Amino acid sequence: MIRRGKAIVSARASQTKKDEKLFVGTLGVNCIEYTKRCLDTFSSDCKEVKFVYIDNGSDAETVRELQGWSNKNPDVHHFEKLFNGRNAGVGVGWNQLINNALQWGATKILICNNDIAFGPSTANGMCEAYDRLRKEVPETVMVTATNHTKNPNDLKDVRQRWNNHEHPDFSCYMITPETIDRIGMFSEDYDPAFFEDNDMHWRILMMGYKAFGTDWAPYSHIASRTRYGNPNLVTHANFRECKIAFHRNMVTDTVDQEVANSRYLAWIEANPQVKHPTHQQVIDFCKEKGLIKEGLLRWIDSLNVMNVPV
């Protein structure tokens, strides 16, 4: 059950801004200085912005500090803090944020790690890139920012470039309500973290959709601050269990997205009238046609935390 923080800050959005309801969400466990920086560096021209932070089990001292934290960023019109009271996991937390965004009526949903810093063109660039790519490639369901530096002070010198690649960065990604209609929510099988992003991208690819990283939206990511700040948050056994779950869910011995691409291409060649199958239909088809070998199935069945490759 989510416990709501007391502070919700609202401001009237300017009528001169872009007609966009942008939801921004992040998760955190301790590491409050990075979370505060994430909010402070955000900027956009969107007409209405809601920023939601979900705490995934910080210690009592951090929770007290969070409860006194308020928004002073004029580009954020609604600010909300939610507390899970435990580490509910990344997949669960992302789905909570997405559900919050959908209930609010967001037109764009931006979810990021709390140890990122936004640059002057990150949020606007993601909105613009999403709309442009959606027109150029109708199968687009996700656009992600590109990490250009670990030093946020350098972002002012990083210029936008219209350069896109099919290697999305789930540390700062944008989806829309349409994405959920097409792909569904994140898997919650990966507790507490790791491989929920690989799972989503493989599902996107095997269902005939696209996710792009774009240099039109540069940002800064130090990376892994939560893991380093909370070394026991995800144990080696947790990581291995999540990796096994990915191997079994996607029926694979690799995270290489080219495998997902090749499976979809095999499907669409045989079923050109069904452009957007479920990912399970594609997996079942590849099993039936022998594209997924019996040896791979036996290997997956034999996996445990002691023998899974890391």
Does residue 202 form part of some domain?
yes
CB-based contacts of 228, cutoff 8 Å, min separation 6: none
Alpha helices by DSSP H, 251-302? 257-270, 279-288, 294-301
Does residue 23 form part of some domain?
yes
Residue 222 banded pLDDT, cuts 50, 70, 90: confident
pLDDT of residue 133: 98
Rounded CA-CA distance 75/137 in Å is 30
Do residues 209 and 78 both lie within one domain? yes
CB-based contacts of 269, cutoff 8 Å, min separation 6: none
Residue 235 banded pLDDT, cuts 50, 70, 90: confident
pLDDT of residue 233: 60
Is residue 277 within 8 A of residue 207, CB to CB? The reply is yes
Out of 89-98, 123-132, 147-156, 268-277, which region has the weakest mean confidence (pLDDT)? 147-156
pLDDT of residue 100: 98
pLDDT 10s digits, 64-106: 999 999 999 999 999 999 999 999 999 999 999 999 999 999 9
Does residue 86 form part of some domain?
yes
Do residues 14 and 155 both lie within one domain? yes
Does residue 162 form part of some domain?
yes
Domain range for 269 is 251-301
Does residue 243 form part of some domain?
no
Do residues 143 and 279 both lie within one domain? no
Do residues 204 and 294 both lie within one domain? no
Does residue 242 form part of some domain?
no
CATH code of the domain containing 89: 3.90.550.10
Rounded CA-CA distance 75/178 in Å is 25
pLDDT of residue 188: 98
Do residues 225 and 257 both lie within one domain? no
Does residue 259 form part of some domain?
yes
H or E element that contains 134: helix 122-136
Q: In 258-273, which positions are buried (b, 16+ CB within 10 angstroms) versus exposed (e)?
A: ebbeebbeebbeeeee
Do residues 13 and 93 both lie within one domain? yes
Out of 5-9, 214-218, 287-291, which region has the weakest mean confidence (pLDDT)? 5-9
Do residues 134 and 273 both lie within one domain? no
Do residues 78 and 188 both lie within one domain? yes
pLDDT of residue 223: 61
CB-based contacts of 308, cutoff 8 Å, min separation 6: 240, 243, 244, 247
Rounded CA-CA distance 260/252 in Å is 9
- Taking the CA of residue 188 as centre, how many other CA atoms within 13 Å lie in the half-sphere pointing to its CB? 10
Do residues 136 and 167 both lie within one domain? yes
Rounded CA-CA distance 69/65 in Å is 6
Rounded CA-CA distance 41/81 in Å is 18
Do residues 77 and 112 both lie within one domain? yes
Examine the pLDDT at 7 and tell me if it is beyond 50. no
- Within 10 angstroms of residue 198's Cβ, the number of other Cβ atoms is 22
Examine the pLDDT at 186 and tell me if it is beyond 90. yes
Q: Enter the DSSP assignment of 49.
A: E
pLDDT of residue 60: 96
pLDDT of residue 8: 38
CB-based contacts of 224, cutoff 8 Å, min separation 6: 115
Give the start-end residues of each E strand in 139-259.
140-149, 164-165, 172-175, 210-221
What domain count does the chain have? Answer: 2
pTM of whole model > 0.85? yes
Rounded CA-CA distance 249/25 in Å is 27
Do residues 47 and 108 both lie within one domain? yes
Q: What is the mean pLDDT of residues 172-187?
A: 98
Rounded CA-CA distance 100/106 in Å is 9
CA neighbor of 279 nearest in space, from 199, 190, 177, 166: 199
Does residue 12 form part of some domain?
yes
